[in-house]
Amino acid sequence: MKISRRIEKVKESPTLAITAKAKEMKQKGDDVVSFGAGEPDFDTPPHIKSAAIKAIEGGFTKYTASSGIPELKKAICEKFRDDNGLAYESSQIVVSCGAKHSLYNIFQVICDEGDEVIIPSPYWVSYTEMVRLAGGVPVILDTKQADGFKVKPDALKKAVTKKTVAFILNSPSNPTGCIYNRSDLESIADILIDNKITVISDEIYEKLIYDGEKHVSFASLGKEAYGLTFTVNGVSKAYSMTGWRIGYLAAPTKELSAAVGRLQDHSTSNPVSFAQKSAVEALKGDQRCVEQMAAEFKKRRDYMVERINSMKNISCVKPRGAFYLFCDISKTKMGSFDFSKKLLEETKVAVIPGEPFGWDTHIRLSFATGMDEIKKGLDRLDNWLKALK
């Protein structure tokens, strides 16, 4: 049977594939240390789990409104107001099956065949594929490590063409952990506003932020920025709820959220009913769990950055947010796939190659794994690099 041209062009997700391979090796009894995880290693907090159990026992197990239950939309509006200084009404919110789904929906709604979407590189692996799936053309905009992996206004200006429809902003970033502060955002805002470019602001790592940095939402810069922006977020990373599949978007107008809603009506329908109830609890309940997780991530980050930068032929910039180190391996003269494959085969340490993030000179190490495992994995990496010819 033939496979459609649309799907033939789409690559497999290496983040999911490598994480799954490491898990499988572990289950078979291999002593694998995985730095692949794109998800917090903590359990979902008990008060959030209880909300789902209560919902199931109370019979909340049927279809809901396709774009999400009113109670959750209200909690999301309150979150945007309190955390981000953003005023949205419930009618501007669409709840989906994870932020990945929210992003997918946006590209389907805004892209026509041949429309260009500017993606700063390094980028999260799914952006390019989602744009392609919508018939769009990913335009890769390279950043420099020396600029903290952030887009500079001149470079952005050059990437804009008559076909540009959107720009993806991911702060804090996966895989670099860089954060755009207010002045970084202001420096690119005028170009985006002048050219009426839609901004897709992926803020999924907002709560995992260190060193007293402050998260700024692009839409909060002013009326014009707000009018161009889809703000995307979810509960996966902040509340360790990756398996629950709840993400959401806020659209600048009701017409746009309704367009996303129509797509969802005819594709997935509502996200899981009782997971929505848990998301309400996550957003409105006790937030100490988020602080505890972020504090633990910070400890691990500090330890890993110091160790990596003391090793031979590898280095990294200290990430300010998220839970990844994006490490430069160019001195080894190996491509990132080759490096990752050999490392896994020879030491049973799993890392993610940088090539699918746009940078073959780098690898990504997640610190969403316990301290003992981190120590063990870094010892192996250190010894392997020392022995490398």
Q: Which residues bind to ligand GLU, rule: CB under 6 A?
A: 13, 15-16, 38-39, 100, 124-126, 174
366 part of the interface to ligand PMP, by CB under 6 A? no
The residue range among 92-100, 145-153, 182-190, 211-219 that interacts with ligand PMP, by the rule CB under 6 A, is 92-100
Question: Cα(61)–Cα(57) distance, rounded to whole angstroms?
Answer: 9
Q: DSSP letters along 300-327, please?
A: HHHHHHHHHHTSTT-EEPPPSBSSEEEE
The residue within the footprint of ligand PMP, chosen from 67, 84, 143, 170 (CB under 6 A), is: 170
The residue range among 93-101, 106-114, 157-165, 312-320 that interacts with ligand PMP, by the rule CB under 6 A, is 93-101
Question: Cα(318)–Cα(242) distance, rounded to whole angstroms?
Answer: 25
Nearest residue to ligand PMP by CB is: 98
C-beta separation of 179 from 171 below 8 A: yes
Binding to ligand PMP, residues 189-208 (CB under 6 A):
202, 204
Given ligand GLU, ligand PMP, none, residue 99, with its beta carbon under 5 to 8 Å by kind, binds: ligand PMP
How many residues bind ligand PMP, per CB under 6 A? 13
Structure tokens at 140: 């890769």
The 3 state secondary structure assigned to 179-206 is: CCCHHHHHHHHHHHHHCCCEEEEECCCC
Given ligand GLU, ligand PMP, none, residue 170, with its beta carbon under 5 to 8 Å by kind, binds: ligand PMP
- Edge-to-edge strands of the sheet including 229-234? 93-96, 247-250, 229-234, 198-202, 164-170, 116-121, 137-142
- Closest to ligand GLU by CB, 126 or 220: 126
Residues pairing with 328 in the sheet: 315, 362
- Closest to ligand PMP by CB, 170 or 198: 170
Given ligand PMP, ligand GLU, none, residue 13, with its beta carbon under 5 to 8 Å by kind, binds: ligand GLU
- Closest to ligand PMP by CB, 174 or 347: 174
For 48, phi then psi, to 5°, come to: -75, -40
The residue range among 62-70, 94-102, 149-157, 288-296 that interacts with ligand PMP, by the rule CB under 6 A, is 94-102
Cβ atoms within 10 Å of 253's Cβ, excluding its own: 11
- Closest to ligand PMP by CB, 174 or 336: 174
- Closest to ligand GLU by CB, 108 or 174: 174
122 part of the interface to ligand PMP, by CB under 6 A? no
C-beta separation of 197 from 157 below 8 A: no
Given ligand GLU, ligand PMP, none, residue 202, with its beta carbon under 5 to 8 Å by kind, binds: ligand PMP
Q: Which of 259, 351, 343 is nearest to 304 (CA)?
A: 351
The residue within the footprint of ligand PMP, chosen from 36, 136, 234, 354 (CB under 6 A), is: 234
Residues whose CB is less than 8 angstroms from the CB of residue 366 and which lie 6 or more positions away in sequence, other chains included: 35, 36, 37, 38, 323, 324, 352
H or E segment and range at residue 278: helix 273-284
242 part of the interface to ligand PMP, by CB under 6 A? yes
38 part of the interface to ligand PMP, by CB under 6 A? yes
In the chain, the N- to C-terminal Cα span, in Å, equals 47
Residues lying near ligand PMP in the complex (CB under 6 A): 38, 98-100, 124, 170, 174, 202, 204, 234, 236, 242, 247
